[in-house]
Amino acid sequence: MNGPLLNNNGDTNNVVVKLAALANSMMLTRISTPGSLRMPPIGSNLLDTNAINLLSAWITNALPSYQTFADWQVSVFGSTNDPNASVTADPDADGANNYLEYLTGTDPLQATNFWAIGIQATNSAAQISFQQIANRGFELQATTTLVDSNSWSALDLPGNEPFFSITNRDAVVTDPAWNDTNKFYRVRVFPP
């Protein structure tokens, strides 16, 4: 969002995606315009109307309510310069830094307000559940050791595909390769 362009098509207001501004969102222009601006430039003469409609709806409906981290800092702490507003601060001492609280929509001043991951294990599978927050990406990862921080990897499972929902929703991912010893899970949360 608001990403710079190599070619702004003659308008300095154009960016990759501009909140609530279809005319200045070059990603939309590039997929919906036949001719030399078209993306992809070869391989199809047909416009993907489903993709055009989906991207248009996302830009006009979902993005206007999107809040940047700096906007969030100001709304919660009154300033981006407040020491409690820093990315790594944890003013409520609940173990989640401000950036994670921002991504998960929790209150950084209330230790009892937190985002959680649930797990239900059976003999043959593990079901990992969590709430997907609107306009956030989620990726379930697993490892068999907590000693090596580089050992975490995304699970290639149904329900764990890259996906940015426009509303909050409950997610459940089932890991059929679960065993009851030495398998640990975490969920990576990231912005669009």
DSSP single-letter state for residue 42: S
Whether residue 65 contacts residue 167, with contact meaning beta carbons closer than 8 Å, is answered with no
pLDDT value at 74 more than 90: yes
**More confidently predicted of 18 and 45:** 18
Q: Hey, which residues does 154 pair with through a beta bridge?
A: 141
DSSP 106-168: --TT-TT----EEEEE-SS-EEEEEEEPTT-EEEEEEES-SS-GGG-EE---TT-S----SS-
pLDDT above 90 for 82: yes
Q: What is the mean pLDDT of the chain?
A: 89
**Domain regions of the chain by residue span:** 1-66, 69-104, 117-190
Per-residue model confidence (pLDDT) at position 57: 83
Residue 92: its pLDDT value, please?
Answer: 97
- Token pair of 114 as six digits: 């937190």
Dihedral pair phi/psi, residue 17, rounded to 5°: -135, 125
